[in-house]
Structure 1
């Protein structure tokens, strides 16, 4: 059931939606609104509460379909494509991600950069003004910890997508000013992400239960995210330590039925570590995941209102990665019938939403940032890398057994177990933005993607018509950012 926290945020989203129609371009223009009056705003506990909720609206926008996070992640992987039957490869701004022909002028590239720095801007404000705030100390700690986690996730996504980016930690009134220092190194960005998460661990409650605070950052989120950061850096021992802390909390457990994870009303379920929440039927506060994931011509069948865009279709490659008995395979459907005609267009049925009134941008379908199943698999990976598979079988088996598979063979070597956990990571959360990052952090992206190059006319295409190379692992820096701050160098190859 949606909490009061979501209802409060819905009002903020509605206001943001009114502004956002013209803000995408203006956000990076040199003339910006005067934020000096905000100094007078940050006084009471209520003021900071509103500010933090406002920051969560930007957090949701990181994953909102309007900023096309799935293009930057899933579409670039071998899990989804716009080039399979039912997909719509027409809009260049979408297909450029799929076939790796991106230019620095891509509108979604700029949009994601914008919303990331909007979140950083809000987090910096909260942290800055809290220092001198005369409010309850426990609340002050909570607000600071939340802001640090939100800033950390923004920079973690940015550094994985773009490489080194401007690291701005002080309050700024004009976002253009934040770019004038140029790019920080990848290591510097990661150092700050880790510092924010380590401090947040000391400030936040262990876990927010369902209800008004469901979805807000807590120690479980900070610790899980910190472990993921360490794993990305190949600091396996440190990653295993953080993941074990979360396991030992005893606050999380797998949902008995995998497909129940994606039903309406699952906010704050036992498996959720962190979700970006959306509210159905409220203009500006819902998501468009169902519309963007629905194959062409599936209007009135897979979605109730709005357009079926066909921009995020599962490939045969991911479907064939499952055993036939794997319950997770049923998250992919082979086709649909409309007006007595059968369309053999695969689609992600966990994003189907036929609730009345949930048109484009109005669905209540949420986005999982982290689930407990993801953490168990990452823990198994980290343990295997540090001491071999002996201590990792129980974690991977929890996920496999839930999927209807037998426990993994205990005779696997370290190398064999590594491949097994990579496969399980892919099969557990194929449409939640992890696959591309997993391929990159494990050094497999170029080899795996190039092994699947096919003509775009081939229905098994994963989005590649020609090979990629190392420069494709990062996105180009948006051209408008470099126009404002030429000292921000472009990534190689662009």
Structure 2
């Protein structure tokens, strides 16, 4: 594991051409070209590994701020972004309103997408695999951008000349989503089926591209396409559900059979999982009262997720193991699991239900419930307990995928954000579902306009 992660770190240092700032913030430069870097296949591989390095930085903290901070499963005693997100008092100076790290990832991807093909003969399999990974990571970055800010600048070329347009305005989110789908289709066709070992979870494979496609199609409400891409994942022999006895290992040790794509960290390349969840009263987040009360009796996951022995639990130990009791604020070396099989199965269940295919939806839902030690339910029981099958699936996602960065996006995608969060923090306007643009982006780019609510 450390060897792979260290390769990503070391090779990314070679990317002297990569942006250290938001591509939209760069000053004009002359005589600047990546052509001097991309000469060999090793250079091409280093360029792509440099994108993964940027992904490490981008999601270290923000996967939780963006995906959990505005939702109902967490609460906080902290000021700053955690409190602003919880109270729905977002502003243009908050750190989580910055898109710099996403656009740095996009910038590195754009260089690789342009110059990697020049290293190889046309149609070279290794070259196509590298470009596929670059396009998937660009798609991942843009998918977060459109879900967070809505319309965003769509930049598909590296910035290399003063003749290029520096101040790029917003592109409609629908057009950005079309580009995301195109990138992921290319990746699903050209990425490797398998690298072998840990790399199957650390690098984008065809399964990873199809998993991301499933998430994007569900966001677009393209349910037939979501079912097809999800089936490609479910039919892939690389992935299988782990037993409940190994459920915690998905997060604590990583590289499980259930994992599709995870961001690799180690003692050098660390993340903020401990600060987010694990250091008791000093962590950013603890499980909300509503989340704790939402568990069905007998759910075997409950005491694997947080400390149930405390009347007011402060420790989310899902990512560190049951009984974790180290309140040091040191950075964490656990991987962050971005895609796993249970997520895709529940999205597929949701898509089937949307198409009126209730039996298929319940079959997938009950597979996840059974693993957690819960009884299977039929449509009548789903309605009596959760009001409808869709709500039963969404509830299952809230438990199974808790604190992994999905809940806020699930609420927005299913148009339940106002219904759920309104009573908690007064969310009432659909225009408020997106974040404000950070003031730095607005100050540096005269062609950007603040999102209307702000």
Give the SS at the match of 1:64: helix
Give the SS at the match of 1:348: coil
Q: Residue 251 of structure 2 contacts residue 320 of structure 2 at CA under 8 Å; is this kept in 1?
A: no
| Structure 1 counterpart of 2:107 | 121
Deviation at 1:218, TM superposition (A): 0.8
Give the SS at the match of 1:317: helix
1:127-166 alignment to 2 at 5 Å?
127-134=113-120, 137-166=124-153
1:450-465 alignment to 2 at 5 Å?
450-451=422-423, 453=424, 464=425
Instruction: Output one character per residue of 1:1-39: Cα deviation in whole Å (capped at 9) or x when no partner.
Output: x252112124467899xx99xx67x87655477782532
1:435-474 alignment to 2 at 5 Å?
435-451=407-423, 453=424, 464=425, 466-474=426-434
Greater mean deviation of Cα atoms: 384-393 or 373-382: 384-393
Q: Residue 272 of structure 1 contacts residue 368 of structure 1 at CA under 8 Å; is this kept in 2?
A: yes
| Structure 1 counterpart of 2:451 | 491
Deviation at 1:488, TM superposition (A): 1.3
Deviation at 1:108, TM superposition (A): 3.0
| Structure 2 counterpart of 1:81 | 75
| Structure 2 counterpart of 1:5 | 4
Counterpart pick for 2:168 among 174, 177, 181: 181
| Structure 1 counterpart of 2:202 | 215
Alpha-carbon distance in structure 2 between the residues aligned to 1:176 and 1:431: 45
1:58-457 alignment to 2 at 5 Å?
58-65=54-61, 68-82=62-76, 88-90=77-79, 92-110=80-98, 113-134=99-120, 137-173=124-160, 180-212=167-199, 214-257=201-244, 259-262=247-250, 264-267=252-255, 269-279=256-266, 281-282=267-268, 285-296=269-280, 309-330=282-303, 331-334=305-308, 344-352=312-320, 360=329, 362-411=331-380, 416-451=388-423, 453=424
Q: Residue 55 of structure 2 contacts residue 263 of structure 2 at CA under 8 Å; is this kept in 1?
A: yes
Q: Residue 3 of structure 1 contacts residue 212 of structure 1 at CA under 8 Å; is this kept in 2?
A: no
Instruction: Output one character per residue of 1:63-95: Cα deviation in whole Å (capped at 9) or x when no partner.
Output: 102xx331222110001121xxxxx323x2332
Structure 2 gap ranges (5+):
none
Deviation at 1:131, TM superposition (A): 2.9
Alpha-carbon distance in structure 2 between the residues aligned to 1:35 and 1:100: 46
| TM-score (norm. length: structure 2) | 0.89
Deviation at 1:254, TM superposition (A): 0.6
Alpha-carbon distance in structure 2 between the residues aligned to 1:416 and 1:45: 53
Q: Residue 75 of structure 1 contacts residue 98 of structure 1 at CA under 8 Å; is this kept in 2?
A: yes
Give the SS at the match of 1:333: coil
Equivalent pairs counted in the alignment come to 445
Q: Residue 69 of structure 2 contacts residue 85 of structure 2 at CA under 8 Å; is this kept in 1?
A: yes
Alpha-carbon distance in structure 1 between the residues aligned to 2:309 and 2:159: 50
Deviation at 1:130, TM superposition (A): 2.2
Structure 1 gap ranges (5+):
83-87, 298-308, 337-342, 454-463
Greater mean deviation of Cα atoms: 358-367 or 230-239: 358-367
Is 1:45 aligned to residue 14 of structure 2?
no
Alpha-carbon distance in structure 2 between the residues aligned to 1:211 and 1:351: 18
Q: Residue 346 of structure 2 contacts residue 393 of structure 2 at CA under 8 Å; is this kept in 1?
A: yes
Higher helix proportion, which one?
Answer: 2
Instruction: Output one character per residue of 1:285-327: Cα deviation in whole Å (capped at 9) or x when no partner.
Output: 0112112323555xxxxxxxxxxx3212111111111113101
Alpha-carbon distance in structure 2 between the residues aligned to 1:316 and 1:248: 38
RMSD of aligned residue pairs (Cα, Å):
3.0
Give the SS at the match of 1:153: helix
Deviation at 1:106, TM superposition (A): 1.4
Q: Residue 88 of structure 2 contacts residue 427 of structure 2 at CA under 8 Å; is this kept in 1?
A: no
